[in-house]
Homo-oligomer: A and B are copies of this chain.
Amino acid sequence: MASVARITGMTIQTRRERERAERRRLIVTAARELAEAEGWDAVTTRRLAAEIEYSQPVLYSHFKGKGAIMAAVAVEGCAELAVEMRRAREAAPGTRAALAAVAETYTSFARRRPALYDAMFTHLVDLPFATPEAPAALQEAFGQLLAVVTPVTAPEEEPGLVAETFWAALHGLATLMRSGRLPEPAHARRLRLLVDRFAKAGDE
């Protein structure tokens, strides 16, 4: 006769899989917190292993390597950025305001969560980007840029290209500023200037 466990799916197998999933989350969360607190240089496999109170090889039974862990953190970051941008866009009163709000949200995110941002967009992590296989969170984030940019796209332009170009500009501002190559104080003015250039068909 089939046991209750078998009926409800609470077999030993499922318990182990659940524990594995939990530990995987533990790794990703620890990596993220450590990175946000002390930067990615501090996220060594030894340090991370100590943080989760397991030995190093455990990491490699969950991820192919450090890069894969960073990629997992990056996906989390994408989801959060997408949420923040959506909120900013939907709260904005008009087309131009939405463009400005999303731009501000994006660069603010990069500044508030530098480690997260680096994992997502500057470090070399093997994440599929410009393909259908890209993570849903990433596509969602890009979707927000697309939504906010479509109203200011000229008839002869393609919204996708405008979104990509706008994204690139925001990314450039964020990274150059964070590496000290652009002076911080003028950031707001640069951002306003960029929005001006892209919101030529703004309704407000």
Contacts and interface: CB of A to CB of B under 8 A. Distances in A.
Contacts of A173: 165, 168, 172
Number of copies: 2
B181 A165 contact: no
Nearest to A130: B183
Determine the interface band of chain A, counting residues with CB < 8 A from chain B. 20 to 34
Q: Report whether over half of chain A's contact residues are helix, strand or loop; otherwise say mixed.
A: helix
Contacts of A175: 122, 171-172, 175
A169 interface: yes
Interface in A165-197: 165, 167-173, 175-176, 179-183, 186, 189-190, 193-194, 197
A202 to B, nearest CB: 13
Contact of A164 (B122, B165, B190): B190
Nearest to A177: B168
Nearest to A193: B165
Interface string A130-172: 1000000000000000000000000001100110110111111
